[in-house]
Amino acid sequence: MSTKPKVMLVGGIGAGKSSLVARLIDSSEEVRKTQTLTYSSFTIDTPGEYIENPFMYKNIIAVAEEADYILFIQDVNQIRCVYPPGIARSFNKPTLGIITKADGDLEHLPQVLLNFKEMGLEEPFFITSSKTGQGIAELKSFLFDKEPKSKKNSSYLIV
């Protein structure tokens, strides 16, 4: 049985959740569109439709009960924010803001960071690429290393 904390990923359609899961669990299987909740021993991958359709929010809230961390995933190429304001404060669990696809243009990064603040997310925010592996070791270390961590003093702060 895994002793790692259970990590739930939430984010828009095509934001890169499943590609990030593949990195977190060291899977080389081809990533396909997520049709339903998908579990590994320490990840819970959600379909993008769960956050894009408000009538699915109740599913996110229910599944979050099983998780130790809620990761909000945002494609840096998308300024469209699929999350309602303050969403991160609706969970009594640690939440993290993760920016994906950082291997491309970072033009919209400032807007994405503003959106994260509106969502009620606190730093550190992680900037990652599942294509190049950027930021993945830092994220894994933050989530899975045993030593106690303080968000405030985190060396992964990117803003």
Q: Which residues bind Mg ion (CB under 5 A)?
A: 17-18, 34
* Residue in 11, 97, 120, 124 binding ligand GTP, rule: CB under 6 A: 11
Rounded to whole angstroms, the Cα distance separating 48 from 50 reads 5
Residue 149's φ and ψ, nearest 5 degrees, are -125, 150
* Residue in 99, 100, 115, 126 binding ligand GTP, rule: CB under 6 A: 100
The count of C-alpha atoms lying within 13 angstroms of the C-alpha of 141, restricted to the half-sphere facing its C-beta, is 10
CB of 151 vs Mg ion, minimal distance in Å: 26
Q: Which of residues 15-54 bind ligand GTP (CB under 6 A)?
A: 15-19, 31, 33-34, 47-48
Nearer to ligand GTP, 33 or 151 (CB): 33
# residues near ligand GTP by CB under 6 A: 20
Q: CB of 96 within 8 A of CB of 70?
A: yes
13 binds, options Mg ion, ligand GTP, none, Cβ within 5 to 8 A by partner type: ligand GTP
Alpha helices in the chain (DSSP H): 17-24, 49-52, 57-64, 109-118, 136-144
